Structure 1
Amino acid sequence: MAAQHVPCLTWRARRGAFRCMISEPPKLHLAGDTAWLVDFGERTDDAVNNAVIAFDAHVRAAGLAGIVETAPTIRSVLVRFDPLVLAPERLAERLQAWLTERDWLASEPPAGRKRWFVPVHYGGEDGPDLAEVAARLGMSEAEVIADHGRAAQRVRMLGFAPGFVYTGMLGEAWALPRRNQVRAAVPPGSIAVAVRQTVLTSTTVPTGWWVIGKSPFLAFDLERERPFLLQAGDELVFEAIGAEEAATLLARAHAGEAVARVEPIA
């Protein structure tokens, strides 16, 4: 019989808050006075990410009065609530009930997933950290580019900025620490790596990750009818292109084209 994933069911009051009395995931943590964090554990694999996506969809579909919003991450779901409408202990009870309805870690991937083939110009001004990443990985720059695009990378979450995409997981060799210094402004479409993950920036943002390239693909555009093209569970395949092609594709992207091939994931 498969192991059952039992949520925290025992609580005690401490200084007006609530604290989980067991440590097995999924767990509930009170995050300030207006949110609960539903934690599915330390793992970052597909099963945990599927659980996060499925549980987030379940909470939103329930339409419980007092829930303000949910924010799914790689391995947890933040559930914000209005304490004047919904008491924290009542929401905790409801979250616990939902968690015990089924084994969320056995959830299927979300429906409607897509695989996007994202063009990237690696190196040069678009990828100022490519040489340093190659040195740290013990590879040539060409090998880094080939390895980065070798397999599809799953979109684990969107966050930090509108449409900002986190994908992974890359191989163990890519367990790079973040840079010691943060770049104050990295342009939209930048491809940066650290801690076995890739991020695709959607707006101009600061980052301490290693910037190895830039894509003309605009994952987020507020002027579009559909501002966000990607969703958690999608997959990205990064394809190397030259600087001239990148400039041409960027002009087409600003004219409204997606400039990334896309196919459904069966």
Structure 2
Amino acid sequence: MILHRPDTFPLIRHVGTDGLLVSFGDKLTEPANRAALAFRAAIEDAGWDGVEETSTSLVSAYLRFDPVHADPAQLTAQLKERLGGADWLQADLPEGRRFFRIPTVYGTDMGPQLAEAAAAAGLSEAKAIRSISETRVRVTTIGFAPGQPYLGELPECWDIPRQQNLTPTVPRGALVVAIRQLVLFSNSTPTGWRHIGQTAFQLFRPDSQTPFVLRPGDEVQFVPTDPEKLNNMQADPDGGAVTEPIR
């Protein structure tokens, strides 16, 4: 059920019997992702009675409520009021974000589809590595596998499609690219995205108090390294990454 006109954003929609979804666009853009992150943080800070969980996707903020103790109509009214109180597309991103510099081997047999991806983007391999490694990307959402981040947006030349066929498997820590986004894999898995690089970064740490290392809003730069150095980083869960707070 759509609670606003379908051709305007933000949209408020029911999700099942106990969820509300606020969407700021119909495709990934920096402002829409910014709005989703900022709005979710505002709902968390508000501490509304009956709201049990919040999360974000690429362009939406989701809240799950207790239908016994919370009135959906009242929550919808509160959402509309909060939406009208700020320009969420220009809102400040939430506090507590971090910047990760993650060592990455590009190309070689550790990133075997770099040349193919570079050609699709109209770049040489050297320029492709420079373009990606110099771009500071944001974790737009976590999904598909535990702790797995989608990161973007890359320059427009990287608006390349997914593959027609699946790559049977890429290893944990693989860096893949498509549709102006990067994905860093938390587990070995098949993918339709092109495998361009490899890290030793462990995204999912089930024995930790914070098993998902990266969070939506964090920023990442994939810094070039060589295979020998990366191999020496394998014993480090951070894979040689350096982290600092974003102020």
State TM-score, norm by structure 1. Answer: 0.83
Query: What is the letter of the counterpart of residue 210 of structure 1?
Result: R
Is the contact between residue 50 and residue 110 of structure 1 (CA under 8 Å) also seen in structure 2? no
Query: What is the letter of the counterpart of residue 43 of structure 2?
Result: V
Shift of the 199–18 alpha-carbon distance from structure 1 to 2, 3 Å rule, reads closer
SS at match of 1:156: strand
Instruction: Tell me the CA shift for residue 159 of structure 1.
Output: 2.0
CA deviations on 1:189-234 (whole Å, 9 max, x unpaired) are 1101000011111123332111111101223312234323322222
> Which runs of structure 2 are paired with 1:201-212 in the superposition (5 Å)?
201-212=185-196
For 1:260, the equivalent position in structure 2 comes to: 241
- Greater shift, 99-108 or 69-78, is seen at 99-108
SS at match of 1:170: coil
For 1:223, the equivalent position in structure 2 comes to: 207
Shift of the 123–264 alpha-carbon distance from structure 1 to 2, 3 Å rule, reads same
Structure 2 Cα separation of the partners of residues 139 and 62 of structure 1? 47
Unaligned runs of 5+ in 2: none
Choose from 115, 124, 135 the match for 2:108. Answer: 124
For 2:97, the equivalent position in structure 1 comes to: 113
Is the contact between residue 200 and residue 239 of structure 2 (CA under 8 Å) also seen in structure 1? no
Instruction: Tell me the CA shift for residue 57 of structure 1.
Output: 1.6
Is the contact between residue 107 and residue 114 of structure 2 (CA under 8 Å) also seen in structure 1? yes
- Greater shift, 69-78 or 164-173, is seen at 69-78
Structure 2 Cα separation of the partners of residues 265 and 80 of structure 1? 29
Is the contact between residue 102 and residue 239 of structure 2 (CA under 8 Å) also seen in structure 1? no
Choose from 128, 144, 162 the match for 2:128. Answer: 144
Coordinate RMSD, CA, aligned: 2.3
Unaligned runs of 5+ in 1: 1-16
Shift of the 22–157 alpha-carbon distance from structure 1 to 2, 3 Å rule, reads closer
Structure 2 Cα separation of the partners of residues 54 and 120 of structure 1? 30
- Correspondence 1:242 to 2:229: no
SS at match of 2:58: coil
State TM-score, norm by structure 2. Answer: 0.88
Choose from 134, 157, 171 the match for 2:118. Answer: 134
For 1:7, the equivalent position in structure 2 comes to: none
CA deviations on 1:46-96 (whole Å, 9 max, x unpaired) are 433232112112222333343342220221112233434434333322222
SS at match of 1:20: coil
Q: Report runs of 4+ in structure 1 exceeding 6 Å deviation.
A: none
Shift of the 242–113 alpha-carbon distance from structure 1 to 2, 3 Å rule, reads same
How many residues align structurally?
247
For 1:58, the equivalent position in structure 2 comes to: 42
Instruction: Tell me the CA shift for residue 156 of structure 1.
Output: 1.5
Structure 1 Cα separation of the partners of residues 62 and 166 of structure 2? 27
Structure 1 Cα separation of the partners of residues 27 and 145 of structure 2? 24
